[in-house]
Structure 1
Amino acid sequence: MITVFIDGYYEEPLAVAKLFGLRGIQHTPLGSRNARIAQHYKASLTATFNIFPSSRYAIILEEDLDVSPDFFSYFSQTLRLIEEDPTVYCVSAWNDQGYEHTSGDPALLYRVETMPGLGWILKRSLYKEELEPKWPTPEKMWDWDMWMRLDDIRRGRECIVPDVSRTYHFGSSGLNMNSYFQDTYFKKHSFNTLAYVELRDLDR
C-alpha cells in the first residue's frame, strides 16, 4: 500500500517507482516555492485516503529520508497511543533534539509540544475533519509543517517521538535546504540501527 507522489511530470522518479513495483502518481504543480510544497502535500494526502478508503492512518515519508530497520515496528507499537488518547496529534519517527550527544536509548519515547514531521503517521479523521478543510490555499506562501504547528491547528495536542530517531535526513539540497544546514544540523542526529526494539513505558 505504498504510493509515490511526484510534484510535476518527471519521468525519472516515476520510472524508479515502477522499478520497485510501486504506484507512482504525477500531478500538476500548484503555487510556487513553499506554497507549491504545501499543495503537493495536500494533493498527496487527499489522494492517499481516496485510494485507500478503508485505511484509518497513513505514514508520510519524504524522498530524502532513510528509515531504520525497526521503522514499521516502531509505528506498530505506538499506533494505539493515537487510537486511545485524543491528546496525541501524531507519532513521528524523528526527534528534533535527538543528537548523537543527547540521545542514546532507542526504547525511550517522549511527548513533545510540536509536530516534528520527517517520517510520521497521520490519522484519517484528523486530516479529513480538521486539516483538509483549513489547508492553506495556493496563494499563501506558508510552510505546511509550520502551519500544522500553529496553536489554533494543533489545539494543545502533542506528538510522540523517540529518543533515538527512526529516520535519517540525507538530502543536502532543496528549497529550504543546503549542505551547510545538512552538515550542522541533520548529520549529527542519532539514528537507530537495531532490527527490533521493544519500546518502554508506552502507558506512561
Structure 2
Amino acid sequence: MKTGKYTTAILGLIMAGVSFTSCVRNDYYNTEPGHNHNTGYQNEFYDDFSSDRYNWSYGSPQDSAYANVQNGQLQFVNYALAGLQTAVVSTGANFNGDFSVSAKIKSDHRMGIIFGASNSDYGYSFTLDDSGSFLLYKEGSPSLLGSAIINWTSSSAITMGAWNILKVEQSGNYWTGTINGIQVFQVAAQPISGSQCGFILLPNTVGYADDLDVKW
C-alpha cells in the first residue's frame, strides 16, 4: 500500500486547496474469467467485496478517515471537516479505447467513483451528493488543479438515501454517464493516463460501496 497527501481544488464543492489523501492499493488485478458480466469486452476487473483481497482497508487517524471491507461491502468514512479521501486499486485496465467503469454506492453526504488515476494523475470522478445532484470532475495532478467537466447538476435519476449504481462508458469518442441505468450526461472522451479505480469521499461523509466493475 502506498499513501500520499496533496492539495487540489474542487469547483463548486469546497474551498480551493483542500487536503486530498490517496490510498493506492496493490498493483495487481483479476480478470475473473468465470465472471459472467463481461459482455462485449476482452478483460474485466471485478470486486464484490466478499473479502478484502485487494487490501482496501486502511486507517488514517490524523485525517479522521478509514476504510474496511465488511458484510460484503466497502465501508468508507471521512469524519474530517475538510480534506478529500480516495481509496483506489490498480485494475490493470487499458483505457485507450472503449471501456466501462461502474459501482454501487450509498452515502450520507458526497461520494463518488474514481477512474483513470495513477501515481502522477488523480484521474476523474463521478460524484453524487445528498441533495440529488451529480458532478463529473477532472481531479488534476500534483502540479495541476482540478476542474469540473460537468458542474453540480440535479438529476431525478438519483435515489435519495439509498444505493445508486454509477457507470461511465466510453464508446468511440464519447463518455456516457448513467445513474441507475438512466443516462445523465454525454461528453467528449478525455485523455486517461492511469488504470487505478475506486472511490472518492468528501468531508463529513460516511459511505458504502459494492460491485466495482471495470471492463475494457
Say yes or no: TM over 0.5: no
Name the structure where helix makes up a greater proportion of residues. Answer: 1
Q: TM-score, normalised by structure 2?
A: 0.29
Q: Please tell me whether Structure 1 or Structure 2 has the larger radius of gyration of its CA atoms.
A: 1
Name the structure where strand makes up a greater proportion of residues. Answer: 2
Q: TM-score, normalised by structure 1?
A: 0.31
